[in-house]
Every structure is written in C-alpha cells, then in structure tokens.
Amino acid sequence: MYIRTTLIKLAVALSLLIAAPALAQQPSANVPAVLPLTGAKEAQAPSATDEYLIGPEDVIEVEVVGLPDRTRTKVYTDGTIQLNLLGKVQVAGQTPRQVGGQLANLLKAGGYYANPTINVEVVSFASRYVTVLGAVSAPGLVPMNRAYRLSEILARVGGMAGTAADYLVVRPENGPEARYSVKELATGDATKDPFVQAGDKIFAPIADVFYISGQVRAPGSYPISSGMTVAQAIAKSGGLTESGNGKKVNVMRAGKKIKLDENAKVQAEDVLVIKERLF
C-alpha cells in the first residue's frame, strides 16, 4: 500500500509540475505552450551536446526518471520556463544537464520529491543558429546544437552552388569579417576551417566572370577563381584549338583594348579574344 501511494503521489506531482492547465485552448502568441507527450517523439531532432546553452525560443523536453510521460515546453523570451509548482525558473545560459539538476534541487527543496532525477533534452534549437546566405544550395538559418566548423556548416546547406565564388565570407556579430577559401576548408588546418559562433552570418558570393572567344574549344563565360591566369582561363574554356595562339591575348578591359601574356591575372568582366597563329 505504501509503494502504491508513493507512485500515485509522484504521478500527481509530475502532472502538477509540467501539465498545461487548459490544453484544449489555443496558447497565446506570447506564452510558450506546454505540450504533453504520449509515446514516441514526432520527429527525431539532433540532440544537444554537453556544452549547448539553452536560450529563448528553444523547446525543451522534461522527464522525471521513473515516470513514463515526457512534457515539452518552450522557453520564454526572458529565458525562463513556467512550472506550476515552482513558478518561473530561469534556464537560459545553462546546459540541459544543469537545468535538470536545478529542477531536481528545487523539487527536493519544495518537498515534492525525496531525491528526484530530471532529464532535460533540447528538441528544437531556435536560440543558437548561424545565417547562411548567397550562392549555396540551401540558404537559410542553421541551428547549432554543438560547435560546428565552417566546413560542416557548408555541408549542412548542401555545398556551394555552381555560380559561387571559391571563398566564403564570415561576418561575426562582433568583430571584423574574414574570408576563407573553400578549397582550403578540407586541409585539416584549424586556422583555415574555424569554428563558427552562434549569430555569425556566412555569405557565399557569386563568382566574378570572364568572357572568352576565338580559337578555344568552348568559348563562353566562366567564373573566375582566385589568382586565375590567362593560361588557366584558356584551360577553363577547353583549351586552344589547333590554330590557337595563347602567348599574347587581346583583352577588352573596362572599355580598353590591351594585350596580356599567359601568366597575367584575369579580372572580372575581362573579354579575352584568342587569335590564330600566323604560322
């Protein structure tokens, strides 16, 4: 009888702690909804690592170990959650493990549990994210459930689009922007593939282009890679025809006609005209 009474008290305490008083009503836009879960989760979200700090608009799932039900609640904009037994509890800036320990201590101090164990899991990451814009396959907000390197964020948005330049620009909330070569992200050098921070904006610019005509196999317009030379531009366009001359190339640049050798650098909007060899 004692064991049965204890279990009933635990179940009642859990329902008082985290059950919404009127689930049939629509929650206010300014009040986080508390949604009881029965059974499996609707979707498998990435789990937060030990260092993840909970923030406003995140959705957390609270479970008292030993009881079957879980409950989800959204974090208020002031960083608190509202619990019926405990009132407002500040959770922002803490890890899920720290929040679980805090709730356990408050419940124990209030006499609701003798020695409770509370599991807290983040199921929706809304407070910590980076913004990825520009020439990538899937631009948008990327939630950060752990520390990510720039190459990992690029992979999560599907990589660079075909029109993209060969570098990324990272603009932190505080501090100067920096440019990183896409090719160098995979070298393993940490200085060339840094960790990004929540709030960073990552921009993939569209590549500058050059135009090429004349004695090349595939005339047209092509993106310029960093440091591209005339010789590399010719190779990009399929190479010379049998009669092409790539030593001295006529170039229209900013409305002026100039001659460049094969080692000269190509600039945006250059128009290269490859002539025939004289003999």
Instruction: Reply yes or no on domain 129-204 having CATH 3.50.50.60.
Output: no
How wide is the angle at C-alpha 159 spanned by C-alphas 43 and 202, nearest 5°? Answer: 90
Is pTM beyond 0.75 here? no
- Domain 2-124 superfamily per CATH: wza like domain (3.30.1950.10)
Where do we find the tokens 């720039």?
150
Position of tokens 């005509």?
213
Query: What are the residue ranges of CATH 3.30.1950.10 in the chain?
Result: 2-124
What is the spatial order of strands in the sheet that 59-64 belongs to? 34-37, 70-74, 59-64, 118-124
Contact (Cβ atoms closer than 8 angstroms) between residue 126 and residue 105: no
Please list the residue range(s) of the chain that carry CATH number 3.10.560.10.
Answer: 129-204, 209-274
pLDDT averages per 10-residue partition of the chain, 279 residues: 46 46 34 35 50 91 83 92 86 95 93 90 91 97 91 96 94 93 90 93 97 96 94 96 90 95 96 87
What pLDDT, on a 0 to 100 scale, did the predictor assign at position 98? 96
CATH of segment(s) 209-274? 3.10.560.10
Q: Specify the pLDDT at position 67.
A: 78
Q: What is the pLDDT of residue 210?
A: 97
Give the residue from 72, 78, 81 showing the smallest Cα distance to 99.
81
Cβ atoms 73, 59 nearer than 8 A: yes
pLDDT at 20: 38
Residue-level pLDDT at 21: 36
